[in-house]
Copies of this chain bind each other. A is one copy, B any other.
Amino acid sequence: MRRIKLGMVGGGQGAFIGAVHRIAARIDDRYQLIAGALSSDPERAAASAAELGIEAGRSYSSFTEMAKIEAKKPGGIEVVAIVTPNNLHVDAAVAFLEAGIHVICDKPLSISLAEGFRIKNSLQKSSAKFFLSHNYTGYPLIREARDMIAAGKLGRIRVVQAEYVQDWLAEPLETTGQKQATWRTDPKITGGGGAVGDIGTHAYNLLHYVTGLNAIELAADLSSHVHGRSVDDNAHIWLRFPCGAKGQLWISQIAIGNENALRLRIYGDRGGLDWEQENPNVLWFTPLGGLRQRITRGSSNLSQAASAATRIPAGHPEGYLEAFATLYSDIADVLINQKPSDHLPNIMDGLDGMWFIEACIASSKNNGAWCGRNL
């Protein structure tokens, strides 16, 4: 098994999505993070790199320099993940593509359509590849939904309803200096879109990914409900697709009571589908004239695409792996930091479990008689 040599731009201390990219790259153990321009501040870049086990010589404070040096270095990175705010995506992507290094870029692509074309132009002159991290397309049941539609199980698509709704910007959080809120509401950094850019692009991409439909035109009613905010925080959007299919989107960051409520409902002339990101292991399907059915991630008879994206059996929510990882991290704390833990199951828990099994068997053999615990 060989691991791909990976670099990262952005994602230093205090960032959010960079850490997510790194965990994602580790889960299947197919990447090695060996270089980074993790911050434009050289000190923070170096400190962040050290924390991540990147050698000092492979920590850069300029992505331009990083692209040039890594491209020439034997054992240089093969691919770079760009996890900065939107306004830096294009310059960074172009620098690496020109250096022949593959790019994984966070969304949205850029701060304007026109600027985005610069990446397209670079790609045409480069042998390197470009990937955009619309991560919701990675859910197994999203792939199942796509496969079902491609296989005609919904018939001709009539109506698509998409929602991506949050509430973390219901108040003017950007005025408190909170970093994520500040850049996401600054049109100079985002390019003009607020909620439509930050999360609306995910919903729009997802409905395209699943249905295969391209919009012909759209209409939108954006609003900004928080006083002093200069980007939209609520959006009502209509889409028209070929052959009369219609779409309606609701995008909001002020809908109190919603955390990350991305939902996709699709209706054709032969069936309907319903999927919610907060419970991603369930996909509801109703065939015309039939009962609503609950398709679960990991269950038998799923498509090859869904099965290939599945790591653990049905009924184990994918967070199962993280809970498992938490135990390993707690153990690491005990072993390295000599930090005692009252969370970790130990030998007494093990013996107790053995008592439990043996007492169950003994009690049952004895017609359900009570059986005392004597540990």
Contacts and interface: CB of A to CB of B under 8 A. Distances in A.
Interface string A314-327: 11111111111111
B323 A204 contact: no
Contacts of A364: 220-223, 232, 235
A1 interface: yes
Interface string A233-268: 011111010001010101010111111110001011
Given A267-B254, A278-B281, A336-B4, A235 B343 contact: no
Interface string A2-42: 11100000000000100111111111111100000000000
B27 A322 contact: yes
A346 B132 contact: yes
Given A2-B336, A321-B27, A354 B116 contact: yes
Contact of A346 (B130, B321, B360): B130
B325 A28 contact: yes
A159 B102 contact: no
Interface in A55-84: 78-79
Most buried by B among A225, A288, A321: A321
A152 interface: no
Contacts of A269: 170, 225
Contacts of A197: 357
Interface string A78-112: 11000000000000000000000010110111101
A219 to B, nearest CB: 5
Given A51-B1, A113-B358, A201-B357, A309 B326 contact: yes
| Number of this chain's copies in the complex | 4
Most buried by B among A120, A235, A256: A256
Given A79-B331, A334-B129, A325 B25 contact: yes
A311 B361 CA distance: 34
A329 interface: yes
A260 to B, nearest CB: 3
B109 A208 contact: no
A327 B166 contact: no
A238 B222 CA distance: 11
Contacts of A352: 204-205, 208, 214
Nearest to A22: B29
Contact of A322 (B159, B311, B330, B358): B311
Contacts of A294: 291-294
List 9 A-B pairs, minimum CB-CB distance, nearest first.
A259-B315, A318-B319, A260-B315, A319-B319, A257-B286, A109-B350, A138-B326, A138-B323, A24-B324
6 contacts: A4-B332, A20-B312, A102-B335, A222-B361, A223-B244, A305-B343
Given A23-B27, A291-B294, 6 more contacts: A1-B50, A4-B332, A26-B26, A237-B360, A291-B296, A368-B370
